[in-house]
Amino acid sequence: EVQLVESGGGLVQTGGSLRLSCATSGFTFVNYAIGWFRQAPGKEREAVSCIGNSDGTTYYADSVKGRFTISSDNARDMVYLQMNSLKPEDTAVYYCAAEVYFDVDDFPIQPYEYEHWGQGTQVTVSP
């Protein structure tokens, strides 16, 4: 059974940092891409950052480039999202998701491309 469990969310002030973790199990980690997505109240779920575990291909939304860093630990089947210089507009529930990935031409970056999802972790950035 595929499982993804997020942790590391919380309340932080503007300019602060958080590191989100995504613990995965139940699938061959290296054959998947892992994405971080977020959903704020009243808004659609959006991609934040994604990584291909086999080749390290990464994607960042323009809104987080230069502030967020995604990384994966293939030995521990973990993916991390380091979030620096946080802004109130980063407030959302953050989800990690997994999708099979073999070809860089088919690198998944949209929520609808991902099959397996975690339950989410709340990130709140106060002004």
**Per-residue pLDDT, 62:** 98
Structure confidence by residue, pLDDT tens digits, 76-115: 999 999 999 999 999 999 999 999 999 989 999 999 999 9
Structure confidence by residue, pLDDT tens digits, 1-54: 999 999 999 999 999 999 999 999 999 999 999 999 999 999 999 999 999 999
**Per-residue pLDDT, 79:** 98
Q: Name the residue with tokens 């973990």.
A: 78
Which pLDDT band, with edges at 50, 70 and 90, does 64 fall under?
Answer: very high
Task: Provide the pairing of β-strand 121-126 with 10-13.
Answer: parallel
Nearest alpha carbon to residue 82 among 3, 11, 4, 22: 22
Tell me whether residue 65 is exposed, middle or buried, using C-beta atoms within 10 angstroms of its C-beta: 0 to 12, 13 to 18, 19 or more.
exposed
**Per-residue pLDDT, 5:** 98
In the chain, count of helices (H) and strands (E)? 0, 11
**Per-residue pLDDT, 10:** 98
Which pLDDT band, with edges at 50, 70 and 90, does 56 fall under?
Answer: very high
**CA dist., res. 38 & res. 64, Å (int):** 12
